[in-house]
Amino acid sequence: MKAVFDFFFEVYYGQEPYMVVLEMIAVFLGVLSVWLAKKEHIGVFPTGIVSTGIFVYILWVYGLLGDMLINAYYTAMSLYGWWYWARPTQEKERPISLVHRGEWPYIIWLFVCAVVFVVAVYTYFDKFHVWTAYVDTFTTAVFFVAMFLMAKKKWEHWHFWILGNLISIPLYWYKGLTFTAVQYILFTIIAVQGYQTWKNSLNKPPAPL
């Protein structure tokens, strides 16, 4: 039992207890948010807002600027997604849809802009002295696209979540945020399920409000 306890909590020795509690709350709400996304439930957004809001503070304390920025972006996009999903189309729920061919150039442009923005921030704060900063730049851009597509209720957003989650698992473990790494393992499992669930809903007519 002690070995299991040390496995999860050893990296937190010396940390403020409230920070550990905050991370656990944020992780719980984050997993709940992704589960609600799989269910196509609008509750994905309020739970996500609280979770990412807590992570903004935690990551600011840890000095993980790229991660902090992506969570701040999540919070803003969750507000937009909440509003977008709640707007009916002809008195019916917003249907899940595919990304149209003409939309991909804008998505690529969003990815490139996200990379440039994070590189500029890391360069300004001189954070490129560790290899994790380079990985963080890439995952931040991937998650920028994923959150945008999810807010627009596009099925392809699951592809980006799965990719970013798989990269984030070892990254957060290396950074010492054990519970966050476990969160991304759960994120990946739920995202794979959500991928199939949303795919099955593509050809179904939207439900009436």
Has residue 186 got a pLDDT over 60?
yes
More confident residue, 12 or 34: 34
3-class DSSP state for residue 27? Answer: helix
What value does the mean pLDDT take over residues 28-48?
91
Separation of alpha carbons 2 and 4, rounded Å: 5
96-105 per-position pLDDT tens digit: 899 999 999 9
Listed range (17-31, 70-84, 87-101, 126-140) with the worst mean pLDDT: 87-101
Q: Is 206 helix (H, G, I), strand (E, B) or coil?
A: coil
pLDDT score at 70? 77
pLDDT of residue 125: 77
Measured distance CA(27)–CA(204) in Å, rounded:
32
Full-model pTM: 0.79
Mean local confidence (pLDDT), 34-53? 91
pLDDT over 90 (residue 9): no
Provide mean pLDDT across the span 50-55.
Answer: 92
Q: How far apart are CA 209 and CA 193, in angstroms?
A: 25
| Amino acid in position 142 | V
Task: Report pLDDT for 73.
Answer: 84
Banded pLDDT at 88 (limits 50, 70, 90): low
Read off the pLDDT of residues 132-182 as tens digits, 9 standing for 90 and up: 888 888 988 998 899 899 999 999 999 999 999 999 999 888 877 787 788
- Candidates 90, 48, 88, 92; CA nearest to 71 is 48
Lowest mean pLDDT among 11-25, 68-82, 117-131, 132-146: 11-25
For the chain, the structural domain boundaries read: 2-201
